[in-house]
Structure formats: structure tokens, C-alpha cells
Amino acid sequence: MPSDTTRRGVIAGALAAGIGGLTFTGARELLEQFAPLSGRAWDAADRTPSSTVESPYGEATLRFDADGVPHVEADDEAAAYFAVGYAQAFDRLFQLDLQRRVMRGQLSEVVGEATLEDDEFHARMDFAGAAEATWEHVAETPAGRLVEAYADGVNRVIETEQLPLEFELLDYEPREWTPVDSMLMEKQISWDLTGNFGELRTALVADRLDEGVAEDLYPERMDHDVPILREEVLESAERLDGGGDEANTDAADASGATTASIEGGSSQSDERERGADPDAAVGAGLTRWLSKYESPTGVGSNSWVVSGEHTESGLPIVAYDPHLTLMAPPLWYEQRVETPERSVRGATFPGVPFVIAGANDAGTWSFTNVGADVLDCYAYEIDDDGERYRYDGEWREFETELRTLDVAGGDDRDITLRKTVHGPLLEREGRTVGVAWTGHTATRTTEAIEEYGRSEGLEDLLESTRKFDLPTQNLVYADADGRTLYYATGKLPIREIDGEAVAGNRIFDGSAGEGEWEGFTPFGESSWDGFVPFAEKPHAIDANVLATANQRVVDDPEHYVGVDYAAPYRGARIYDRLDAALEGAGDDGGDAPGSTDLEFHRKLQADAYDLRADQLLPELLAALADADADTDGRLEDAAATLEGWDRGMDRDSEGALVFARWMDHFRRLTVEPQFADADLDESHYPGDWAVATLDDDSDLYDDRSRAETMVAALEAALEELDDEGWERYGDWNTTRAIEHPFAVEAPFFDYDERPLDGSRATVNNYRVASGVGASWRMVVEPGGDATAILPGGNSGDYFSAHYGDQLDRWIENEQKPMERETDADVAVEFTEGSS
Amino acid sequence: MTGPDSSDSDASGGASGAAGSSATDTLTNRSAVALERVRTEPGPHVAAVAVAVALGLLASWLHWAGLLVGGALVGFTAPSLPRAVVGGLGFGAVALVVFALSLGDATLTVLEMTPVVYLVVASAFGLPVLGSLARGLE
């Protein structure tokens, strides 16, 4: 009996401990999520859309093709966009909600304190306020009704359909989607492409490094001859009436002698006090904080067009691959909409109703980033209490608003938003800066994009482009009539100090009214009076061959555009290949000499030839030849590998691996000593072009010559290869950087890791360090054939067959047809009704 | 009228209490006999296990603690504690199979959900086994 009692006691204890442990620890939450049969995660495992959905906007059909691309057809545009909202929400609802939470500063409400700092930035920037101002304008346009229908379609999914897995894991339900949320997506895209605090970083670097070194490492102009509008383009293309001659104008003189003013303020700049110290805005803490929210490193894109003179079909061809953050699911969503007004297919960002880059029956359009300067920083004289700032000869109260940031599982935080006449005021560690950004006002881009989808040719599209207020993009277009177009979209500010046009890459004295944007009303409707007139922006009509790769737009712009251009490696390579193909040289091009076909352009998108190697390898090999022989012969072996390498950044290449790792070490060893002394971390390292073009006698090589640095970098690279066990480029250059937002907590959301071709300098662009690369590829003959591919899949539903079904094809750039028809069965029938 | 009725009621209450006690004893004895048959005779054992599994699955569908309950119910049909633990494991296996069937095409995707799938398997077996230990409290 005593033994029975003991046994029972032990078992009872084990049961109590087990059940208590499961109930009162984190295990309970895990079991509620994932226990077989009852786990709420499994509710999301079998999502299928309702076969019939009532729509207040009328009848429509929704089909999903073999790649999960939705095809919406309707007789009424609003009925179609209700279905588009439904399709996007069904496939990408978590992405929609996550993005708006980020932009509204409401992420901590569901994920906790970890994102509180991010929320503070987004709340202080008041992107939501700018979106509200934009919606006030858009609501009154034809696009407004379609955006409302779209929002209602999204809400139908929220109300009636099973939510995706992410919501089950975080255990929350999304709020109602509003048209303002869609405007917020426009702001997000624009911010990701143009949000740049470069002037703060440049000022910090200039403050901490020798002036000469800073100028060498961050040149305002890179010395190359392959701008987008190169000589051949300027000579052959047409320009609008009223536009100047960009090849023969002076930037400052041509901008006109207007007097800067901000609406509501004074234009008497000579009466203003000059009391603010721009250095007051320069601080490592503030700059580091703001840098976290700028465009991700490497964001850029390729696009090019050749006219029908250079294609086998006689139609122009446009090729496009935007290099944005790669993620699971992809940033882009492919869709097709067919109504009596439009027949359009292409990619958009979830949350945006209309195709952003794609093709209709009349033409095809694409966008790459200009790198224009549309954000200015202002320093102010602020009173001791921090409540007023000096402006227009008087002390002004900041416009303030109390905002509460909700925090899941933590204390909510109250912050006070402050604004000046220029825009939001940002503060960190005692440093303060005012920000003016062209997105902080009502913008008409949604109107423009909506009109693109039903445009009927170049003239039509050009008219709509006048409304494309932001972001600043290189628009490349071609139509079925054989016409081509390049236009720099977006509003370009003109800054003046004492009536003289100045560049915007500096911190302005906000108290003195320096560099203000005339006709700009933050968080209201702007007249844009003082901005670069449309006809004077860079453009080219009916160019034969034109390539954009984020390089300098034009050598001598009529007006200041910006300085944040990409190195010319990609632009030069694309132009080289196009020139060779059109001249009928080599094996490039189509079957007919001097012509190209779609396949040629797809191959060019996959081109992994690295021009950095052309620039640096001869110098490195010479340095190795002059270096003392190493004891184990590794340097000699590496030199032989590099010498025999074809300079292609291919996943199976050993030479590509050695070069890629050497490049990073060479850059680090070049700048590290001085940067470490100046307390500048890796985020301030210069680009490859600056390092590649540094002189031997640069101060950076005072202690170790450039040749010695090259050899030391190779030794460091080889040691790293040994340590890591990498043998081929694809061992290091993989898809591991492509992550889902829950990558840390739930890594199963990520795609399987695969080796990749391409580097940050190649046309086939991929940055393993930041996970930026070709986020969408398309090649289109307007009115003819078209193909496209996504880096993942069209569905964001983890359990969908289309979650990652395009990834392998994306790696090989095997694009799928982008047809504007489908024989798929109707998945959802939208019927007239109000529920 | 009230007093006698009340008194009668008390008396009859006491009488019925005694009768109830007897009935309870009878019921307990019958239950013990039935449980013994369930644990020793093949036919009743299979039927009881089937009912236990069905009830356990139903409970598991509603809440993760149902896996504990399922393991305990199956365990009570076992003739010994070790057999109860084996029964708990068996119930876990059945729960996993039913779970896989309920997922349909998504099963393969769930298998790729590491480390979540480990938790699924561990809880499918661990919780019923824990529940089956209740057999040892008799």
C-alpha cells in the first residue's frame, strides 16, 4: 500500500506539474497556435475564396490563372475594382495591414516594444496626414470612386473570409481598410524611393573627415559618360515645346530668379534673420536614427527601350526590372483588369488598386528611380524652452499634436508631434531638423496611374504624366504605334538663396527662409508654382535606344535634379550590350542582324558581367605580381583564378567569389583606419565607384599604399573563404536575405535558400547584404508579346500553391507569359447586391 | 399542514438517502465490473477504446487540452499503467492522422513548417501520454 500511495503521489505530481507547466507558461500560447486539430494556425490552412460574393458595385468575375494571377472582368469599372480589392486582400491581406501599420506608426500595437522607435519616426513624419490630404483631392476625381470600390472589396475579405496565417499567429484582426490607407501606400512607395537624408550624412562625414577625403569618397558627380540622356539620345530624340536644351544650359542660371517663399509665410527673404546654425542638425545620433528609415541601400532599377527599328517584330520593346527589397511574399502583386475602358495587366503594390508598371492594349510603361533630391533639411533657431522657432523675423509656436503610440504587452507612449512651416520636425539627442518632402502634401499620382491603365498611346500617357507628382521616376514607355518616351516624373523643387538657384544637398537655414519651395503646402494642397515646369524636366520623345539604371539623368540638366545617382556600372553595361546588338556585333540580338527580340532582352536582364572587374582586376593583378611571394602560394593561385575568370558573377564561379569578397575587404581596408578614428561605422562607407577611382596618392593610402591594400584585402578574403568554407560564388551569394517579416520567429515563412547569380554592380542585380534585387522582371512588346516573373509567388498565403512557385523561374529568369486573357475557370462570381 | 408534510418529507428524505446510498454502491459496483470487463474482455475493450478515441478527438478539436483528455480516456480503458501509456501514444498517432486528413493538400506544407512541425508531433504524442498517466492514480 505505501508503494501504491507513493506511486500515485508521483503520478499526481507529474500530472500537476505537466498540466500546470503547459497552462501557466508560454507553452500555452504555442499550443493554442499550433496544437494539432485545435491550433488556430490551422484555420488558415484551407483558405478558399467564396464562389459567390455580393457586390454593391455590380457584376464581375475573378479568375486565377496557373500562376495565381487574378484576372478580373466587369462591365463597370467600380465593379471591377471591388473585385481587385477582394483579390488583393485575399492574397495579401497581412501585407496590406503590415504596411499601413508601419506608415501610421502602429506596429508596436501588435508586435510590442521592439518597433516603438520605428513607430515614433513614422508618427512624427505624419505620413498619414499627407495621405489624408491626398485623399481629399483624389476623392473628387474619377479615380476616387474606384479607390472606394477597391477599399470595399478589401473589407469584404476582412469581414467574411478566413484571415491568413499571420493574423492567427499574432491573434488580431485587421481594422477596416480605407481609401486613405491606399493613399498611404502611395506615400510608402514614394518614401522608399525618395526618402533621403543624404545632406545630414554628408555633413556628418565632412565634419569628421578631412575635407579632401570627404570630397573624394562622396563626389557630387561621378566621372563617366553614360548618363541616361547620353549624346546619342539628346541628338535624336524630340522634346516638348517650352523645354530648354539640356545639353547646353547652365543649371543655376536657367532656373530663373524667383523669390522663395512658403505659403502662409513671407517672401521677403532679405528681411529674414540668419540665426540658425546648420550644424545644429548635424549629429551622429539623429543621422543614424533617420538613416534607418531611408531608402534601403541599393534600391534602384533597370529599364530600357529600343524602338521598332531595332526589333524583329517592328514593335518597340521595353525591358524592366526594379531593384527593391526582396521579401516573402514579394513586394509586387500581379493582376489583370478587363473592362470596356481598360485592358491592363502588370504589377502593383498590394494596397494600390491600379497597375503601376505593366501593359495595356496600347502601350507599356515602367519606372526606375531617378535619385532626385526632393527632401530638404532645415535647421532652426529654437528658444530655450524648445517651444518656438525663429522664422520670418519673429518667434513662432510649433504646430503640435499629441499622439499615443499603443504598445502590445507594454506601456503606451505619448509623443508630441511638432511641425514648422516647412513640415515635420525631427529630434534626437538634442539635435533638431525640419523636413520638407514633396510627399508631404496632396499628390495626384494615383490619378496618373489610374489613367495610365486606360491610356491609348503616347500622347495620352504624356498628358497623364503631368499629374505624376511623386515619386521622381524615370518613366520609360513605348506604344503599339511604335513611339517611345522617357520622362522624369515627379515634382522637382527649385531652391533659392537671395534669388540665386542652389542645389538641395545641404542643410538650409530654416529660420532665414533659405531654400524654401514656392507653392508647396505641407499637409495641404500645393500649387507647385515654384517647381520645375513640366516641359523643363528631363525627357526624350521617340528616342531609338534609351537605358536607365539610376545613373545620372543628364550631364548638364536644365535644373538641379539631385546627386544621389547610382554608379554607372549597370547603365554602361546595358548601353554597351544594346549598342553591340544593334550594330550586329557578336552573337547578341535577334536572328536578323542589328535587330533584337524578346529573348535577347531577357538575356540582357540576366547579364552578370561585372564592370568593376574591368576597372580593378588589372590593377589588382599587377599589385599581386609586384608583391612578395607568399609562403603557401595561395595568392598566386588566387591570381590565376582571377586571371582565368570571365568576370561573370555566376553562382558556380570561383573567380566571382574571390572577387566579390576581395571587393568588400578592399573597400573596408581602404577606409577603415580613418573612419574608425572618426567614429564612422560601416553605414557611412563610400560606394564601390568612389573606392575604385581613388588616386594612389589619396590620404587614405598614407599608411599603406593602394597596391598593398589590394593585396592585404585579397589575403583577408582568402582567409574568410577558408573560415566559411565557401568554394563557389553561390555558396555566399544566396537567397538567404529574402525574408518574411516573421523570419526570426517563424522562419518557415521564408523561401528555401538557393544560390544566385549577380552582384550589386551587375545588370542582373542582387545585393545579398541588404536583400535588394530584381523585384519584378518584365519584357514587353506593346500590343504584342509580353513576359514577366516575380521573385517568389503571387500569393501571400503561406499554404497557397502560389506562395513561392515562381522563385526557381525567377532565379533562371524564365519568364511566364503576361497575357491579357485566360481560360481559367471563374473562381469568384460577384453578383449585384449590398451585403 | 405544513408541519407534518415537512416532517414526512424529512423522513422520506432520510429513507431515500439510505436507498440512494445503496443504489450508489450498486452503481459503483456495476461500474467497477463494467470497467473490469472493458479492460479485460476484447469486445468491450475495443468498443470502449473507440468511444474514448472519438470523445478525445472531439475534445481535441475544441481545445489542446482535449489531447490530454483523449489520452486519459483511452488510458482508463487500459488494464495497466504501461498499457495506458501505450494507449496514449496510440491516441496521439490517431490524432495526427486525423489532423493530416483535415489539412488535406496543406499537409505537405505543414511538414515543412520547422520547427512548428516538431511542436505538432511532440504535442500530439506528449499530451495524450501525460493524460494517460491519470490511469495510475487508481
Task: Print the domain residue range for B10.
Answer: 1-40
Listed in sequence order, the residues at least 6 apart from A603 whose beta carbon sits closer than 8 Å to its beta carbon are: A813
Please report, as a single letter, which amino acid is at residue A498. Answer: D
B133 and B71 both lie in a single domain? yes
Helices (H), A161-178: 165-170
Do residues B58 and B32 both lie within one domain?
no
Q: What is the pLDDT of residue A245?
A: 58
Q: Are residues B22 and B58 in the same domain?
A: no
Contact A346, A536 (CB under 8 A): no
- Tell me the average pLDDT of chain A: 92
My answer on whether B76 and B117 are in the same domain is: yes
- Band (B4; pLDDT cuts 50, 70, 90): very low
What's the average model confidence in pLDDT over A408-414?
Answer: 94
Same domain for B35 and B68, yes or no, is no
Q: What is the mean pLDDT of residues A68-85?
A: 98
- Biggest CA–CA distance in chain B, Å, is 78
CA A336 – CA A819 distance, rounded (Å): 9
Q: Which residue of A has its CA nearest to B81?
A: A11
A18 touches chain B (CB under 8 A): yes
A60's enclosing H/E stretch is strand A60-64
Chain A interface includes B68 (CB < 8 A): yes
Alpha helices in A433-496, H assignment, sequence order? 445-453, 458-465
Res A268 pLDDT > 60? no
| Least-confidence region, from A75-79, A702-706, B18-22 | B18-22
Q: Where on the phi/psi map is residue A647: left (φ > 0), alpha (ψ -120 to 50), or beta?
A: left
Mean pLDDT confidence for A404-421:
96
Do B55 and B119 belong together in one domain? yes
* CB pairs A-B closer than 8 Å: 79
Q: What's the average model confidence in pLDDT over A777-791? A: 97
pLDDT for residue A680 is more than 70: yes
Look at residues A220, A302, A304, A215 and name the one whose alpha carbon lies nearest to residue A569: A302
d(CA A402, CA A829): 46
Location of C-alpha cell 414526512? B8
C-alpha cell at A229: 540622356
| pLDDT for the residue A120 | 96
Alpha-carbon separation of residue A33 from A108, A158, A166, A618 (angstroms):
21, 20, 11, 58
Shared domain for B110 and B77, answered yes or no, is: yes
Are B21 and B52 in a shared domain?
no
**How far is B50 from B38, CA to CA, in rounded Å?**
11
Q: What is the mean pLDDT of residues A169-180?
A: 96
Do A15 and B123 count as a contact with CB atoms less than 8 A apart?
Answer: no
Q: Give yes or no for residue A391 having a pLDDT over 90.
A: yes
A820 pLDDT more than 90: yes
Measure CB to CB from residue B64 to each of A8, A35, A799 and give the nearest one: A35
Cell 464562389 sits on residue: A51
- Asked if A45 lies within 8 A of B103 by C-beta distance, the reply is yes
Whether pLDDT at B12 is above 60: no
Count CB neighbours of A474 within 10 A. 28
Q: Cα angle at B20 between B16 and B24, to 5 degrees?
A: 175
Residue pair A200/A287 in contact by the 8 Å Cβ criterion = yes
Average pLDDT over every residue of A765-788: 96
Q: Does B34 touch chain A (CB under 8 A)?
A: no
**Cell (9 digits) for A797:** 498565403
Q: What pLDDT, on a 0 to 100 scale, did the predictor assign at position A757?
A: 98
pLDDT of residue B9: 41
Please give the single-letter amino acid code of residue A499.
G
- The nearest alpha carbon in chain A to B112 belongs to A748
Chain B contacts in chain A segment 774-803 (CB below 8 A): 798-799
- Please say if the pLDDT value at position B63 is more than 60: yes
Element (H, E) at B102: helix B81-103
Residue type, A780: V
Q: What is the pLDDT of residue A589?
A: 56
Q: How far apart (Å, rounded) are the C-alpha atoms in residues A213 and A674?
A: 10
Total domain count for chain B? 2
User: Which amino acid is residue A12, in one-letter code?
Assistant: A
Q: How far apart are CA A181 and CA A101, in angstroms?
A: 10
Cis before A329 (ω within 30): yes
- Tell me, yes or no, whether B74 and B107 share the same domain: yes
A258 pLDDT more than 70:
no
CB distance B61–A11 less than 8 Å? no
**Do B74 and B28 belong to one domain?**
no
Please report residues of A whose CB lies closer than 8 A to that of B93. Answer: none
Considering only residues A205 and A92, tell me which one the structure prediction assigns the higher pLDDT.
A92
Residue whose grid cell is 504596411 = A99
| Residue of B60, B64, B103 with shortest CB distance to A32 | B64
Quickly state the pLDDT bin for A591 (edges 50, 70, 90).
low
pLDDT attached to residue B23: 67
- Asked if the model's pLDDT at residue A140 lies above 90, the reply is yes
Q: Could you tell me if A42 lies within 8 Å of chain B, comparing CB atoms?
A: yes
Q: Please, are residues A208 and A680 in contact by the beta-carbon 8 Å criterion? A: yes
Residue A619 in contact with residue A693, Cβ under 8 Å?
no
From A8, A32, A799, residue closest to B137, measured CB to CB = A8
Q: Do A8 and B136 touch (CB under 8 A)?
A: yes
B75 and B129 assigned to the same domain: yes
> What mean pLDDT do residues A424-442 have?
93
**B80/B129 same-domain check:** yes
CA–CA separation, A345 and A453 (whole Å): 8
Of chain A residues 583-642, which have a CB less than 8 A from chain B?
A: none
Angle between helices B42-62 and B2-40 (to 10 degrees): 110
Average pLDDT over residues A313-336: 97
